[in-house]
Amino acid sequence: MRRSGAPGRRWRCAPVAALACGALAALGCNGGDGISRYRVSGTVSFDGHPVPAGMIYFNPDAAAGNDGPAGFAEIVAGRYDTTAKGGRHAIAGPHQVVIEGHDPGPAGAAGEVAGRPLFGGHRVSLDLPAAASQHDFDVPASAATSIVN
């Protein structure tokens, strides 16, 4: 015999709770510090070709009044996504995006760039929305001259 209102009611609420959690996740993530962060993804090419490997950093532009933690993602085969392993979502507002690209090269120690640099420190200004977004970047061939050997 089942008591009215107990277990059956809880199971009917579970799909509603899951839907609400999914909607909140789509709006943005909170890093536990009360700062809303958002997924950023897209492609990175160099002189019209996908960047084989690298990093992309979303640095809040303090000169434009934006302050907070940076977001970042690894570039793999011309694609990046802050939700991928080792990445961190970005906050909304004006940013200085810094892109570094290299050939993959042999496997190095964790966090070590082992391949030949293609370009380093290419900067782009970008205003990120308070929502998940996609941004594609094409680094010009002239960025290769910025590498110091």
Q: Which residue has the tokens 């950023």?
A: 40
Q: For strand 79-81 and strand 40-46, is the pairing parallel, antiparallel, or unpaired?
A: antiparallel
- Whether CATH 3.30.465.10 fits 30-146: no
Instruction: Report, in angstroms and rounded to the nearest whole number, the Rg of the chain calculated over CA atoms.
Output: 20
Going by DSSP bridges, is the β-strand pair 40-46/137-139 parallel, antiparallel, or unpaired? parallel
The predicted pLDDT at position 120 comes to 84
Say if CB 45 and CB 140 are below 8 A apart: no
Residue 103 has pLDDT above 80, yes or no: yes
**Extents of the domains making up the chain:** 30-146
| pLDDT band, very low/low/confident/very high, at 22 (cuts 50, 70, 90) | very low
Confidence class for position 14, pLDDT limits 50, 70, 90: very low
* 117 vs 104: which has the higher pLDDT: 117
Residue 139's CB is within 10 A of a number of other CB atoms, namely 22
Q: Is the pTM of this model over 0.85?
A: no
